[in-house]
Amino acid sequence: MTHSLHRKGTIENLNSDYVIIAMLAAGYNDKIPSIKKNHFRVGEILEKHGPVNILRKAGWGISSVIQACFDDIEKVKNILIELKKEELGISIVVSGLVSEIKKITTEIGLTMHTVHLSLGEFGKKSELPLEKVLEITTMCGHHCVSSQSVEYYIENIKKGKITIEKAAENLTKPCVCGIFNTKRAMNILKSILEDYK
């Protein structure tokens, strides 16, 4: 799933947006009971480090992924240190700024194994919503957050009908994966509203 790959944004605001995915490999380790237990253990470690959002616990073990998003590369580093120490054997992917991930993996003695790079989008780009709207909607990797809901909340924030915090919270709800970064959405909404002043 490319769902955490094509998150749009500037280097500045992407620096508060990291997704960690723990995935079982179908046909390799997904049916081994000890590995499934380790998978839950990864979820506990992610939870412990204060994610902005995380796949709800009721979903752990239903599909092959457990994932969360964080607003601080230091949290990601501390998580990787713990995962490396515990040797749980689960594939771990970090989605975010390559330069920052490269730095922390080097610091803690991990080797980047495989990378999924984004070349961005092509085709009828004129039909896409505004870039800032996409910065919010692309944080739900399955595209369950509609562009018109972002537009709706911007209008209602301007009219004083809803706070930025509540709007960001509502925008988070359609994303079932737990990787929509509510804090970053708030900051992007703030910057959109600044542009209107």
- For residues 196 and 190, the answer to whether their CB atoms sit within 8 Å is no
Cβ–Cβ < 8 Å for 34, 105 = no
Q: Is 68 near another protein (CB under 8 A)?
A: no
Compute the half-sphere exposure of residue 166: CA atoms within 13 Å on the CB side of its CA: 8
Question: C-beta of 62: minimal distance to another protein in Å?
Answer: 8
Closer by beta carbon to another protein, 20 or else 164: 20
Residue found under tokens 């990378």: 115
Listed ranges 128-136, 157-165, 178-186, 189-197: which one lies at the site for another protein (CB under 8 A): 128-136
User: Which amino acid appears at position 172 of this protein?
Assistant: T
Nearer to another protein, 137 or 164 (CB): 137
Report whether 13 contacts 187 (CB < 8 A): yes
Count of C-beta atoms within a 10 Å radius of residue 24: 21
Least distance (Å) between residue 165 CB and another protein: 19
- Rg (the chain; Cα; Å): 18
Q: Which stretch binds another protein (CB under 8 A): 48-56, 134-142, 178-186, 187-195?
A: 134-142
**Would you give the binding string for another protein spanning residues 72-111, x where CB under 8 A is met?**
--------x--xx---xxxxxxxxxxxx-xx--xx---xx
Smallest gap from Cβ 103 to another protein, in A, equals 10
Binding to another protein (CB under 8 A) within 10-49 occurs at 11, 14, 17, 21, 23-26, 28-29
> Contacts with another protein in 144-163 (CB under 8 A)?
144-149, 152
8 Å CB contact between 147 and 137: yes
Binding letters toward another protein, positions 104-123, x by CB under 8 A: -xx---xxxxxxxxxxxxxx
In this complex, which beta carbon is closest to another protein, that of residue 67 or of residue 197?
67
Helix H or strand E encompassing 168: helix 164-172
Q: Quick check: 78 and 15 in contact, CB under 8 A?
A: no
